[in-house]
């Protein structure tokens, strides 16, 4: 969006709502965000205070064009204005991060500011391709990852175990794998400490076909 257009846009906020109404608006923010968790929350309105919010699936890593104007809502949610000039057919505000949306970690990330602070996570069930992808802060715990995974897939958290490999084989020479009771979930460990390098495996002890309901 050209500088003149951005100034007119910002001026329109002030003219329409008055200074008190635009409290929380800031300019000079990132002009590009990338999808972190495979889902976006969008306010299809020029007014960042609009209560109409749409949920849409978006591929993890998908870039989005923004004007650099952000708005911090009264509940702490950070919203970024869509750059209509660079994103024809799109308008409104997209959620960057905030409470109340069932997410652990940001919904969108600034690729220039990330500086390796987040990591792409892939989870598969039995075989490739992965059934879940997301970008998580390296400071988040494995428990946070499980929470995010279950919130997005509908799976029961108590029956969900993520492993970097399949359980070890039983020591009796039968070739059978040990039951999942022998798989240490290490949920307090951070993602960085876990040193995740490859796709994680889902060990689900519930009824996967009945419970799996991705959103």
Q: pLDDT for 128-145, tens place per residue? A: 899 999 988 888 889 989
Answer yes or no: do 75 and 26 share one domain.
yes
CB 120 within 8 A of CB 200: no
Distance of alpha carbon 134 from alpha carbon 1, whole angstroms: 29
Answer yes or no: do 54 and 94 share one domain.
yes
The tokens describing 20, both together, are: 């008190």
Distance of alpha carbon 25 from alpha carbon 79, whole angstroms: 9
Answer yes or no: do 20 and 60 share one domain.
yes
End position of a domain, from candidates 50, 79, 114: 114
End position of a domain, from candidates 114, 129, 150: 114
Answer yes or no: do 35 and 80 share one domain.
yes
Answer yes or no: do 200 and 151 share one domain.
yes
Q: What is the largest CA-CA distance in the chain?
A: 77
Number of domains making up the chain: 2
Distance of alpha carbon 103 from alpha carbon 137, whole angstroms: 12
Q: Is the pLDDT of residue 23 over 90?
A: no
**Sequence-distant (≥ 6) Cβ neighbours of residue 121 within 8 angstroms:** 132, 133, 134, 135, 136, 145, 191, 196, 200
What are 77-112's pLDDT values in tens digits?
999 999 998 988 889 999 999 998 878 778 999 887
Answer yes or no: do 40 and 69 share one domain.
yes
Question: Tokens 């905030």 label which residue?
Answer: 98
* Closest by Cα among 97, 96, 98 to 32: 96
What are 182-196's pLDDT values in tens digits?
445 567 889 999 888
Answer yes or no: do 151 and 190 share one domain.
yes
Residues spanned by the domain of 22: 3-114
Answer yes or no: do 43 and 108 share one domain.
yes
Answer yes or no: do 123 and 199 share one domain.
yes
């Amino acid at each position: 969006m050209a500088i003149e257009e951005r100034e007119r846009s910002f001026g329109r906020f002030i003219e329409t709502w008055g200074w008190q109404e635009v409290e929380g608006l800031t300019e000079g923010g990132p002009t590009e965000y990338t999808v972190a968790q495979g889902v976006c929350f969008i306010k299809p309105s020029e007014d960042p205070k609009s209560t109409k919010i749409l949920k849409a699936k978006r591929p993890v890593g998908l870039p989005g064009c923004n004007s650099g104007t952000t708005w911090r809502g009264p509940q702490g949610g950070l919203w970024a204005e869509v750059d209509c000039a660079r994103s024809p057919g799109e308008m409104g505000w997209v959620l960057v991060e905030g409470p109340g949306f069932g997410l652990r970690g940001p919904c969108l990330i600034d690729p220039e500011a990330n500086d390796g602070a987040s990591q792409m996570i892939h989870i598969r069930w039995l075989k490739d391709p992965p059934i879940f992808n997301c970008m998580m802060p390296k400071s988040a715990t494995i428990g946070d990852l499980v929470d995010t995974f279950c919130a997005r897939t509908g799976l029961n958290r108590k029956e969900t175990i993520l492993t970097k490999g399949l359980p070890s084989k039983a020591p009796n020479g039968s070739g059978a794998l040990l039951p999942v009771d022998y798989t240490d979930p290490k949920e307090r460990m951070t993602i960085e400490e876990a040193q995740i390098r490859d796709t994680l495996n889902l060990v689900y002890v519930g009824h996967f076909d009945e419970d799996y309901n991705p959103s």
